[in-house]
């Protein structure tokens, strides 16, 4: 279909789960991909699959999205290789699901470092080039619990509410610069990440990563001048 032909797309957390499925779907649409995560071996595996799926070019960058130095280098090498960044997909995320009394400060900080600071740093790193070009799209994989809360998810929900606030304010701030800001808010999705949750329904009802990826593609492939703000996607049966 080539919906993303000549589009340079940075995807964080691209080494498995939802990020992998976004990478492979975008590859089929002919995008040039920059795949980001901390584990280089996993990234290389996805790079091979993305090239087989039709990606025009694939660069992998090992980086921790919560580290400003590594994120800045990621943006620099992406720009050096491709000359521009058209779409940033902020997808990397971590979650610890347990009662507040059992949540350690380390876990709390890890969630805020990746889910909130990581989105801030990656967005900040790509914005100057987008502003110079006068176009771009920041798409963040938030969560349906960025708008509602669940028991045993207080810290995680707090990070996703924070991300919703950050991106909604950013949308107003950079609209005039020609840059779109969109969010996908998925419900339970069958990934490694979701394996860490407790007290939730049986896995059979969950979304697949590719369901979320299709929502991201829908957002990313709108004509210029059309902005999809938020897409909430969840399983038909979601009783948690």
Q: Which residues bind ligand NJP (CB under 6 A)?
A: 12-19, 37-39, 42, 64-66, 91-95, 114, 141, 143-145, 186-189, 191-194
Minimum distance from residue 161 beta carbon to ligand NJP (Å): 12
| Closest CB to ligand NJP among residues 40, 223 | 40
Main-chain dihedrals φ then ψ at residue 189, nearest 5 degrees: -130, 140
* DSSP designation for 198: -
Burial class (CB within 10 angstroms; exposed 0-12, middle 13-18, buried 19+) of 77: middle
Q: Are 239 and 168 in contact (CB under 8 A)?
A: no
DSSP output for 66-121? T-HHHHHHHHHHHHHHHS---EEEE-------S-GGG--HHHHHHHIIIIIIHHHH
Q: Return the number of the residue (178 or 210) whose C-beta is nearest ligand NJP.
A: 210
Report the helix count and the strand count for the chain, using DSSP H and E.
7, 7
- Nearest distance from C-beta of residue 203 to ligand NJP, angstroms: 10
Instruction: Compute the least distance from the CB of residue 199 to ligand NJP, in Å.
Output: 14
| Closest to ligand NJP by CB, 134 or 195 | 195
3-state secondary structure of 179: strand
**Nearer Cβ to ligand NJP, position 31 or 92?**
92
Q: Which of 156, 192, 218, 240 is catalytic?
A: 156
- We find the least distance from the C-beta atom of residue 164 to ligand NJP, in angstroms, to be 12
Phi, psi angle pair for 61, to nearest 5°: -130, 120
Residue 109: HSE in the Cβ half-sphere, 13 Å Cα cutoff: 3
What's the closest the beta carbon of residue 227 comes to ligand NJP, in angstroms? Answer: 21
| Nearer Cβ to ligand NJP (91/167) | 91
218 in active site:
no
Q: Which residues of 175-201 are buried (b: 16+ CB within 10 A; e: fewer)?
A: eeeebbbbbbbbbbbbbebbeebeebe
What residues are annotated to the active site? Answer: 156
């Amino acid at each position: 279909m080539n919906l993303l032909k000549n589009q340079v797309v940075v995807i964080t957390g691209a080494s498995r789960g939802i990020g992998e499925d976004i990478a492979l779907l975008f590859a089929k649409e002919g995008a040039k991909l920059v795949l980001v995560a901390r584990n280089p071996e996993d990234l290389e595996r996805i790079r091979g699959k993305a090239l087989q799926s039709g990606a025009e070019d694939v660069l992998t960058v090992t980086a921790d999205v919560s580290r400003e130095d590594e994120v800045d280098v990621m943006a620099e090498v992406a720009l050096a290789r491709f000359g521009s960044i058209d779409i940033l997909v902020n997808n990397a995320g971590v979650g610890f699901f347990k009662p507040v009394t059992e949540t350690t400060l380390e876990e709390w900080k890890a969630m805020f470092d990746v889910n909130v600071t990581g989105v801030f740093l990656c967005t900040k790193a790509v914005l100057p080039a987008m502003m110079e070009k006068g176009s771009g799209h920041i798409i963040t994989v938030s969560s349906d619990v960025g708008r509602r809360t669940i028991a045993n998810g207080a810290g995680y929900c707090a990070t996703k509410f924070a991300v919703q606030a950050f991106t909604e304010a950013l949308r107003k701030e950079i609209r005039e610069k020609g840059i779109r800001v969109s969010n996908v808010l998925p419900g339970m999705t069958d990934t490694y990440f979701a394996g860490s949750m407790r007290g939730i329904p049986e896995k059979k009802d969950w979304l697949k990563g590719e369901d979320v990826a299709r929502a991201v593609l829908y957002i990313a492939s709108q004509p210029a001048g059309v902005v999809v703000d938020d897409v909430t996607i969840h399983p038909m049966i979601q009783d948690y």
